[in-house]
């Protein structure tokens, strides 16, 4: 019996088991092919949407990081002038590249879902009350309802101390990797800059791009940093930079820098240090 004769009778009906099996096989192959095609197509579309969300979240993250560069415009006028001098003189821009300013009010935080976390950062000792130009600052709060999250981490300079005051000397504790900036508004002359530590150690500094290596004790040591320092020139700030590159004794948290002047003037102080900053963005937006 041929296949053709098995598929039909004289009455036109399919009646053999072989014919039923052929039909079932045909239908199964058709649906397997259809569902495979549909699944692949949907998977490709979903992967394309995920890639688009990823690229969009990445662009949003870069935009937010750029908006958070230090310094923002929310500082008192003369202090902001000092901060801009620091950025321009020591980095070549009005804002410090690879920096993060935790004070910024991000105007789009009501429509963008994101959260910024600075690992190990404590803003309580930064001294905001003396330098900011607004009464309250609203920063984005954590949104733990976010489910589809894109995270980007950067190691950025973050301010650890901000201040300005009238005095004839200042004392600042500086930790390894931290940078101290200061300027003097007035006719004072820097008489000496002394450095000390809680225990005997060696420390390496970069002062206005000039390297110094000092052996320190608990007794203040004359550093001679003042030989490469700038003073106020009555028309603009002349900020100074002291980087603490290395502390020989790993158990020491910081060393103390004391700056003495011959007269009372206004001191402007900024300290910054690298921190890991993580930005989490809702990919669904």
> Nearest-CA neighbor of 244 among 204, 195, 215, 199?
204
- pLDDT at position 10 is 53
- pLDDT at position 32 is 76
Cβ burial of 29 (10 Å; 0-12, 13-18, 19+) is exposed
- pLDDT at position 46 is 64
pTM of the complete model: 0.79
- pLDDT at position 220 is 96
Instruction: Identify whether the C-beta of residue 266 lies closer than 8 Å to the C-beta of residue 107.
Output: no
- pLDDT at position 107 is 45
Average pLDDT per 10 consecutive residues for the chain, totaling 285 residues = 50 58 70 66 65 82 91 89 94 95 62 79 76 64 65 94 92 96 84 94 96 96 90 69 94 94 90 94 76
User: What 8-state DSSP symbol labels residue 139?
Assistant: P
Contacts 24+ apart (CB under 8 A), 185-188: 185/78, 185/232, 185/237, 185/265, 185/266, 185/267, 185/268, 186/232, 186/263, 186/264, 186/265, 186/266, 187/232, 187/263, 187/265, 188/231, 188/232, 188/261, 188/262, 188/263, 188/264, 188/265
Query: Could you give the domains of the chain?
Result: 157-277 (2.60.120)
Q: Sign of the C-alpha dihedral, residues 157, 162, 167, 171?
A: negative
- pLDDT at position 13 is 53
């Amino acid at each position: 019996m041929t296949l053709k004769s098995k598929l039909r009778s004289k009455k036109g009906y399919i009646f053999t088991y072989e014919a039923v099996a052929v039909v079932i096989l045909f239908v199964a192959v058709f649906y397997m092919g259809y569902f495979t095609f549909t699944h692949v197509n949907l998977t490709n579309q979903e992967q394309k949407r995920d890639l688009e969300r990823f690229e969009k979240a990445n662009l949003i993250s870069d935009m937010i990081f750029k908006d958070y560069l230090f310094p923002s415009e929310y500082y008192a006028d003369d202090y902001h002038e000092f901060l801009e001098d620091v950025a321009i003189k020591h980095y070549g821009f009005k804002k410090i590249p690879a920096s993060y300013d935790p004070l910024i009010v991000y105007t789009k935080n009501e429509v963008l879902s994101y959260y910024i976390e600075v690992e190990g950062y404590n803003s309580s000792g930064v001294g905001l009350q003396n330098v900011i130009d607004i009464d309250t600052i609203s920063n984005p709060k954590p949104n733990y309802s976010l489910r589809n999250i894109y995270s980007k981490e950067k190691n950025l300079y973050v301010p650890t101390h901000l201040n300005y005051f009238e005095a004839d000397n200042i004392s600042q504790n500086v930790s390894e990797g931290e940078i101290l900036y200061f300027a003097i508004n007035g006719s004072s002359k820097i008489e000496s800059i002394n450095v000390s530590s809680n225990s005997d150690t060696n420390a390496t500094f970069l002062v206005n791009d000039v390297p110094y290596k000092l052996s320190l004790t608990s007794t203040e040591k004359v550093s001679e940093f003042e030989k490469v320092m700038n003073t106020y020139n009555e028309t603009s700030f002349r900020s100074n930079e002291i980087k603490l590159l290395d502390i020989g004794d790993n158990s020491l948290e910081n060393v103390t820098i004391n700056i003495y002047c011959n007269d009372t003037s206004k001191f402007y102080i900024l300290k910054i240090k690298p921190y890991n900053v993580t930005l989490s963005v809702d990919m669904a937006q």
